[in-house]
Amino acid sequence: MLIIGIAGGTGSGKTTVVNQIVEELKNDEVDIISQDSYYQDTSHLSYEDRVKINFDHPKSIDFDLLVNHLKELKAGKSIEEPLYSFTEHNRTGETRTIHPRKVLIVEGILILTHPDIRELFDIKIYVHADSDERLIRRLKRDINERGRDLDEVLWRYQTTLKPMHQQFIEPTKEFADIIIPTNRYNTVAVDIVQTIIKDRLS
C-alpha cells in the first residue's frame, strides 16, 4: 500500500489536489482519510466548551488513533474511521469502514507535524497558497457552507488560524517531498504525482 500525506494551511487547496490525484484511479484502488475525522473525542465537554477548543493546534488531533489505524491498514486489516460533525464539534458516534487499498491518501493541516505519521507516509506533499488567497477561500467557505459571519471568520483567522499556521503548519513544509503551488491552476505537479503512483503500482 502506498500512503500519501497531503498537508497545507486552511484554504490552500488540499481538497482540490486530492480530487485531481484520485481522478485517475479506480474506486477500489484508493481511499481518502481526512484529519478532520481524528479530532479528539470531546464527548465529556459541553457544547460551550467544545466551541472554545483550538482546532488548529496539534494537540486537538488524536494522533495515537490515526497512527494505529494507518498501521492496521498497512498490515492488511480494515479499520473503522470515526465520523465527525463540524456543527457539534464532536464525533458523531458513527464510523465508516475503510479497507486496505493500493493507494491511501491522508489529508489535513497538521498531518506532517507528527513524527510517527511522517514515518508512515511514502510520499509527503505540502500544498502552498499565499496567505491572502487562503484567507479569501476560507472566508467564502465558512460564510457560504458553514454559516459563519465575516467578523467571526476574520477574528478566528487573526487570533488562531494565522498564529497556529505560522507556528505549526508552515514549518512542516521542510518535511515535504513535493510542494504544490496552488495560487493558480496547476496540472504539472499533479501529473508528476500520478506518474509516481503509476510507477509504484506497476
Nearer to Mg ion, 111 or 117 (CB): 111
* Residue 191 cell numbers, joined: 501529473
Among 31, 56, 62, 81, binds ligand UZR (CB under 6 A): 56
Question: Which DSSP letter does residue 165 get?
Answer: I
Q: Which stretch binds ligand UZR (CB under 6 A): 9-17, 91-99, 119-127, 176-184?
A: 9-17
Nearer to ligand UZR by C-beta: 55 or 126? 55
Task: Pick the closer one to ligand UZR by CB: 14 or 101.
Answer: 14
Q: Which of 1, 4, 8, 15 touches Mg ion (CB under 5 A)?
A: 15
Q: Based on the shown chain and the rule CB under 6 A, indicate whether residue 126 belongs to the binding site for ligand UZR.
A: no
Q: Which of 98, 109, 127, 129 binds ligand UZR (CB under 6 A)?
A: 109
Q: Which does 155 bind (CB under 5 to 8 A by kind): Mg ion, ligand UZR, none?
A: none
User: Strand runs (DSSP E) across the chain, as ranges?
Assistant: 2-7, 30-34, 79-85, 90-98, 103-107, 123-128, 178-181
Q: Identify the CA nearest to 109 among candidates 168, 152, 51, 193.
A: 168
Here the cell at position 146 is: 458553514
The end-to-end CA distance of the chain, in Å, is 12
Least distance (Å) from ligand UZR to the CB of residue 11? 6
Q: How many whole angstroms separate alpha carbon 1 and alpha carbon 103?
A: 6
The region of 8-16, 62-70, 93-101, 120-128 touching ligand UZR under the rule CB under 6 A is: 8-16
Q: How far apart are CA 161 and CA 7, in angstroms?
A: 15
Cα separation of 166 and 52, whole Å? Answer: 20
Contact footprint for ligand UZR (CB under 6 A): 10-11, 14, 39, 55-56, 86, 89, 109, 156, 161
Contact footprint for Mg ion (CB under 5 A): 15
